[in-house]
Amino acid sequence: MSLKNKIVLITGGGSGIGLCLVKQAHQLGAKIVIGDLKLGEEAQALVSKDPNVIFEKCDVTKWKDLEALVGASEKQWGDVPDAYGICAGVFDPPWSNFWQDPEDDRYASVDINVNHPLKLTRLAIRASLGKGKKADVCIIASIAGIAGNIASPLYCATKHAVVGFTKSMKDTDAFTGVRVTAICPGLVKTPLFTLEPEKMKQFSFSDDKALLPEQVAEKMIDMLQKAEYACGTVVEITPWGSRLIPEWNIAPPIGKGTGQELDMTEAMKAMLAPIIAKLDIEKGAKL
């Protein structure tokens, strides 16, 4: 499906990979709904000058806000979206972190990274069935959804959930009309890292290990447009290329930034440092 003159709904489109997806879809002639808490300067400039790019403030943990994104599409263009780029997500922020354990009620990152893409996909199915049209959904998962990481078990768990969900959608487009895929990037140079120096240090971030967000968005554009990516397809992408993740098993990825090259070196010590510090505080503490 060409995205020219199609409606594309993108969560997390205010910055990072989501913004790159907005720009690339816009260049292809798509009409775009951006759902995010706020817009960066570049996204704001695009919205202000082009009526075919609209912004709907959205807290993706609130299902009514997700429904409003589809409603914004209908209000602006009289139709529901043809494609969905589900990009909003968090990477172990200090307010939702397994090892730091700051939350009293729930892990909020599960709402953002898991409940949001699942619910928006369900809304996409309902909206498309209601209009008798087809749609394509591509969700950002992570290479962390294929393996694991001792420093970020909560993040890994949420991305494993997205991978499992996407694989579970295999062949469902025959009766829903919605083709669901997911992309698993390795390390990416986005604000999730670049705005947090301590996280960059902990995970030994460096440019030579990282994808650019434009590269991930470009692959998502490809997946949204090409039927060769069948419903239920999961694609891994690293600076060393991309490959399909088979249903049952796959060899580990190669290259820096994939997490496979780490051992008890300075990199691993940096990764474990904040965890050990937190656990040292808890020694002898009463619940």
Task: Answer yes or no: are the C-beta atoms of 162 and 141 closer than 8 Å.
Answer: yes
Taking every pair of Cα atoms in the chain, the longest distance, rounded to a whole number of angstroms, is 62
Structural domains of the chain ordered from first start: 7-282 (3.40.50.720)
Q: What pLDDT, on the 0 to 100 scale, is given for residue 265?
A: 74
Q: Which of 182, 164, 199, 200 is nearest to 84 (CA)?
A: 182
Number of helices (H) and strands (E), helices first, in the chain? 11, 8
Read off the pTM: 0.90
Q: Please, which residues have CB within 8 angstroms of residue 129's CB and are 6 or more apart in sequence?
A: 176, 177
Q: How far apart are CA 109 and CA 84, in angstroms?
A: 21
Can you give the pLDDT at residue 271?
78
pLDDT (0 to 100) of residue 285? 67
Angle between helices 153-168 and 116-131 (to 10 degrees): 20
Closest C-alpha to 69, from 148, 135, 124, 150: 124
- Please return the burial class of 141, using the count of CB atoms within 10 Å of its CB with bins 0-12, 13-18 and 19+: buried
The span from the CA of 120 to the CA of 137, in Å, is 9
pLDDT tens for the chain, 287 residues long, are: 899 999 999 999 999 999 999 999 999 999 999 999 999 999 999 999 999 999 999 999 999 999 999 999 999 999 999 999 999 999 999 999 999 999 999 999 999 999 999 999 999 999 999 999 999 999 999 999 998 899 999 999 999 999 999 999 999 999 999 999 999 999 898 877 777 788 778 787 778 888 999 999 999 999 999 999 999 999 999 998 999 999 887 788 777 666 666 555 777 788 788 888 888 888 876 65
What is the per-residue pLDDT for 191?
Answer: 78
CB neighbourhood size of 57 (10 A): 14
The interaxial angle of helices 41-49 and 16-27, nearest 10 deg, is: 30
